[in-house]
Amino acid sequence: MSILVIRGPERHDALTSPPPPLPPSVLGALVQRAGCAGQTLAVRSCGSTTEVLTALRLANEWGVRATLLDPGALTDHPLLQRAVQGLAHPYVEVHDTLDEGALPAATGRRLAVVDGYGARSYALALEIALEQLGCAECECDVHVGT
């Protein structure tokens, strides 16, 4: 896999829970767009800090080329910030709403923060990642960047 989407847990009162699944139409569009650019895409929805940290570690082991990271309720978690510093590849931070906060600016190889566009935030983040990987140009008619 070349692009990994990691979705962190959401906070509901004092508890965290896995994020709801991406709508099938959004997931399908992401997979299709990545494939159009010659890349593969996988999604990992995590219900805990441990699951997110494991996914980040495995991203390095698997040779992932870019990560779309929605940290969910974990933006202030020091272990997440440390794990992101250790990524061997660039990532785009994704939030579907504006009020979720973001990781500190100097956290790892972050390319951008995309927030406030709902599920479309993932599509925009994917375009940024594909641009960074040099494979954004293809027969698809969507292009974000230069």
Q: What is the pLDDT of residue 146?
A: 45
Measuring CA to CA, how many Å separate 116 from each of 36, 67, 97, 109, 125? 26, 19, 4, 21, 12
The per-residue DSSP string of 78-143 comes to HHHHHHHHT-SS-EEEEESSGGG----TTSSSEEEEEESSTTHHHHHHHHHHHHHHT---SSSS--
Q: What is the pLDDT of residue 118?
A: 85
- CB half-sphere exposure, 6, CA atoms < 13 A: 29
Tokens of 36: 């159009």
Instruction: Print pLDDT tens along the chain (146 aa).
Output: 799 999 999 876 556 788 989 999 999 999 999 999 999 999 999 999 999 999 999 999 999 999 999 999 898 999 999 999 999 999 999 998 887 788 888 788 999 999 988 889 999 999 999 999 999 776 555 555 54
DSSP state of 63: T
Which amino acid appears at position 45 of this protein?
A: S
C-alpha to C-alpha distances, 106 to 26, 56, 92, nearest whole angstrom: 30, 17, 13
Domains of the chain plus CATH, in order, are 3-133 (3.40.50.9100)
- Whole-model pTM? 0.89
